[in-house]
Structure 1
Amino acid sequence: MSTFRLAGLGRLRRLQEDHAAAELARRATDRRGADRRTSDARDRLAGTVLSGTSDPQSWRAAVAARAAMSATVIAAQAAAEVAAEHETLAQSQWVAARKRSKTVEKLAERHRDEEQVAELRAEQQVLDEMATQRAARRVEEES
């Protein structure tokens, strides 16, 4: 049985696929964290109320705090969008790596199938030769 000449390439493609899958998992974790931080920031913003105080400094401080929280929500949303884009890119890279890996796997499978057919063909030839020799001996014995 001959060795599959692209076996090394197959191992490389599987390693690349594994790396892409790990990167995708990391990016998905990053995106979930960014989504959680966005949700937390929104909840904190929704929890702030402007008190009806008549003190102008307290009012300005409350407005400034609310504006800062609003900016935090906007920043968290932007970070979540970037994380989602990175996850989408990682997903497409994993799909491409999987396709390359699958192509080599199919070639290896075809090689194994061809090897098996060749082995069966050789076995059949041996059996046919044995049957031919046995028939020839019978003819000799009968004559």
Structure 2
Amino acid sequence: MARAFQLAGLLRLRQIEKDHAASDLAAANAFRRDAGERQARAIAALHAVPVEATDASTLFAMAAARASSRSMLADLAALADQADAEVAEAQTAFGEAKARAVGLEKLEARHNASVLAGELSAEQAAIDEIATGAWVREREGNEA
């Protein structure tokens, strides 16, 4: 029976960590995409507002709307910056988790190759023993 990889439990844990980090990265990318879309929609909505004032009250309303819009765009820009920072952090965490998992995966591959080589060696020894035994029996049969 083949020897089990002794670090299999740790490898599973590292793979779970890597999957979790990948999930966090996907969520951060979705958040960034959403923030960018919100910003684009707000800018598009502002471009649709008429820019001609017919009287003083309309001019004051437009000035207030522009000030409010400027504040809203600043908030959306801050949200986009936050989303970018979260993506960078999630990317770093994913890279670290992947690096930890890759080392163990390479150890597992080496272990599997070693086990396979041992099994093949044992099989070859059995085949050699069978062939040698048959040769000896045939030789003894010819001498008698």
Q: Distance in 2 between matches of 1:74 and 1:87?
A: 20
Q: Give how far 1:85 is off.
A: 1.7
Q: Distance in 2 between matches of 1:131 and 1:76?
A: 79
In the other structure, the counterpart of 1:85 is: 85
| Greater relative contact order (CA < 8 Å, ≥ 6 in sequence) | 2
Q: Give how far 1:77 is off.
A: 1.2
1:45–1:70 contact (8 Å) kept in structure 2: no
What residue identity is the alignment partner of 1:25?
A: A
In the other structure, the counterpart of 1:135 is: 135
Cα displacement string for residues 45-64 of structure 1 (whole angstroms, at most 9, x for unaligned residues):
22234433332x33222201
- Deviation beyond 4 Å, 4+ runs, structure 1: none
Cα displacement string for residues 63-110 of structure 1 (whole angstroms, at most 9, x for unaligned residues):
011110111111101111110121122122212212222221221111
Instruction: Map 1:1-143; keep pairs closer than 5 Å.
Output: 1-55=2-56, 57-141=57-141, 142-143=143-144
What residue identity is the alignment partner of 1:47?
A: A
- Of 89-98 and 3-12, deviating more is 89-98
Structure 1: unaligned runs, 5 residues or longer: none
TM-score after normalising by structure 2: 0.89
- Give the percent of matched residue pairs that are identical in Structure 1 and Structure 2: 35
